[in-house]
Amino acid sequence: MTQPIELYYWPTPNGWKAAIALEEMGLPYETKLVNINKGEQFEPAFLKISPNNRMPAIIDPDGPDGAPISVFESGAILMYLARKTGRFYGTNERERVAIEEWLMWQKGGVGPMAGQAHHFLKYAPNMDPPQDLPYAKDRYQREVARLYKVLDTRLAENEWVAGPDYTIADMAIWPWAQGWDKVGQQQTMDDKPHMKRWLDACWARPGVRAGRNLHVELRDETGKDRAAQDVLFKRPA
């Protein structure tokens, strides 16, 4: 009997990526909650798995050659699971290149930019002392809007992000893109019909719904929690 993969997880966009992949690929898994608001990502046992103190991470008891393996970084997890199952990663090199292009676009673009926009819009103004920074808010809102337009333009010519098939690129981008309405007043779907169509198509997939809803009850208002802010934003290096 196959042992379940251990998923080290908290319900955030990056956590959803791994949960969605496991659900979509039909892999058995066991959730290990890592409460980032309480600093559990800094515990020595977790740092052995994820040295960058970020979740998600996984341990696969049935890794290469049958030996256990741990994987950190959400993009690396998606690629590992896709190779393991032979699913959602294209069938030839040309397809894989397109998938990896858009996976890296998410990792270097829409993920961190949307994260920064959300930070300066929601968290920073509620910190002690308040950090209400118009330049930062405007900068990141504008960059996210630009990236959403890039995505919409791509989806005007393709059913899914990397081409005609749903892949790990969609799994990576959707958790960040689905929160478009929380990343400032500059965001709209009125001029992005293709992105909206794609968002709805992803949400219609049972695996996406299951991954997104994994421990959804633990989502909270960190923006109003001083102790969580100190853990997440003020912890010394």
Here the contacts of 99-102 (C-beta below 8 Å, separation 24 or greater) are: 99/162, 99/167, 99/168, 99/169, 101/162, 102/154, 102/161, 102/162, 102/169, 102/172, 102/173
Under DSSP, is residue 59 helix (H, G, I), strand (E, B) or coil? Answer: strand
Which alpha helices (DSSP H) does the chain contain, by range? 13-24, 44-47, 74-85, 93-105, 111-118, 134-155, 168-177, 193-203, 206-212, 226-233
Q: Was domain 5-87+213-233 assigned CATH 3.40.350.10?
A: no
- Other CB atoms within 10 A of residue 211 CB: 24
Average pLDDT of the chain to the nearest whole number: 92
Task: Place 231 in a pLDDT band, splitting at 50, 70 and 90.
Answer: low
Q: Where do the structural domains in the chain lie, given as residue ranges? A: 5-87+213-233, 93-204
What's the CA dihedral at 204, 210, 211, 216 to 10 degrees?
Answer: 110
Stronger pLDDT, 132 or 30, i.e. the higher one: 30
Which CATH number among 3.40.50.12640, 1.20.1050.10, 3.20.20.140, 1.10.10.10 corresponds to the domain 93-204? 1.20.1050.10
Mean pLDDT of 182-189: 78
pLDDT at 220: 73
pLDDT at 162: 98
Mean pLDDT of 205-216: 97
Dig out the tokens for 234 from the structure.
């003020």
